[in-house]
Amino acid sequence: MSKLGQVFLVGAGPGDPDLLTVKALRLMGTADAVVYDRLVSPAILNLLPPGTRRFGVGKESGHHPIPQDDINALLADLARDGLTVVRLKGGDPFIFGRGGEEALFLARAGIPCTVVPGITAAAGCAAAVGLPLTHRGLAGSVRLITGHGRDDGAPDIDWPTLADPACTLVFYMGLATAPLISANLLAAGLAATTPAAIVERGTQPGQRLIRTTLAALPEAAQGCRPPSLLIVGRVAALAGQLGQPTTWLEAAE
């Protein structure tokens, strides 16, 4: 029986390879096998040594080509074969990445697992388009929220708790549910004119910033494709104005 290997649960950041951590890059260079998600950009996969075994287990909203149980089993099998495995995930493994589920599974299976944080989409996209998530006088807190629920249904959110004009709301996976997000936040009391922004393909080639308002968010979302991040709050009015080189569009009011 071979010696037990180990798994590194590594955040790859929002797409720009320059935003990988030094630790992520070092582990990618020494791993025997890399199991990666669809959100991990080709530019990052190109940094893997040619001999590294690669397993793409990408998931798209509504499509789950490889069930989570099979991904868990793959990680465990590779480690039981004595391999050093890098489980590479977009952004940070513990922000809407099911990293907690994988780490729990491995812990219960007795397989050593180390988590390496990455820059989550909220931080990466906001920096890329010059949108400070907090800003004195505009926003004193941030909420990271999933825009879709289990089984691709509506998210289970206590909307009134989000109706704070001084809190920046960042919705992951929110393109398809933008009408529901907008309607619920308006009903909860946020003003229709509350600034909003969508960052499409943040930090990657083809990045776009769309500035809009809470009321016009659904229409703006219709013209966007995943991966996109929805940001609602006063700070969104600053997007594109802090000198960042970014493609940006003003959505119709």
Ligand X SMILES: C[S@@+](CC[C@H](N)C(=O)[O-])C[C@H]1O[C@@H](n2cnc3c(N)ncnc32)[C@H](O)[C@@H]1O
Candidates 49-57, 120-128, 154-162, 242-250; binding stretch for ligand X (CB under 6 A): 120-128
CA distance 11 to 24: 7
- Residue from 39, 111, 157, 216 touching ligand X (CB under 6 A): that is 39
> By rule CB under 6 A, what string of x and - marks binding of each residue 65-94 to ligand X?
------------------------xxxx--
The amino acid that residue 26 corresponds to is R
3, 23, 32, 37: which is the annotated catalytic residue? 37
Closer of 83 and 232 to ligand X (Cβ): 232
Binding residue for ligand X, selected from 226, 234, 244, 249, defined by CB under 6 A: 226
Per CB under 6 A, contacts with ligand X among 168-187 are 172-173
Size of the site for ligand X (CB under 6 A): 24
Tell me whether strands 228-232 and 33-36 are parallel, antiparallel or unpaired: unpaired
Of 23, 32, 59, 81, catalytic:
59
Question: Which range binds ligand X by CB under 6 A, 26-34, 104-112, 149-157, 202-210?
Answer: 202-210
Is the bond into 227 cis (omega within 30 degrees of 0)?
yes
To the nearest whole angstrom, how small is the minimum distance from the Cβ of residue 91 to ligand X? Answer: 2
Give exposure, 106-120, as e/b (b: 16+ Cβ within 10 Å): beeeebebebbbbbb
Among positions 15, 17, 117, 195, the unique one binding ligand X when judged by CB under 6 A: 15
Least distance in Å: CB of 146 to ligand X? 8
Q: Is 17 in the site for ligand X (CB under 6 A)?
A: no
CA distance 30 to 246: 35
In this complex, which beta carbon is closest to ligand X, that of residue 83 or of residue 87?
A: 87
| Amino acid sitting at position 28 | M
Identified binder of ligand X from the candidate list 120, 168, 184, 213, rule CB under 6 A = 120
Please tell me the distance from the alpha carbon of residue 54 to that of residue 34, in angstroms, as a whole number. 5
Is residue 70 flagged as an active site residue? no
Question: CB under 6 A: which stretch of 118-126, 133-141, 155-163, 238-246 binds ligand X?
Answer: 118-126
Active site residue 18: no
Q: Which stretch binds ligand X (CB under 6 A): 109-117, 161-169, 177-185, 227-235?
A: 227-235
DSSP string, 44-59: HHTTS-TTSEEEE---
Which pairing describes strands 141-146 and 208-213: parallel, antiparallel, or unpaired?
unpaired
Q: Using CB under 6 A, list all residues that contact ligand X.
A: 14-15, 39, 89-92, 95-97, 120-121, 125, 172-173, 199, 201-204, 226-229
Annotated active-site positions, please?
37, 59
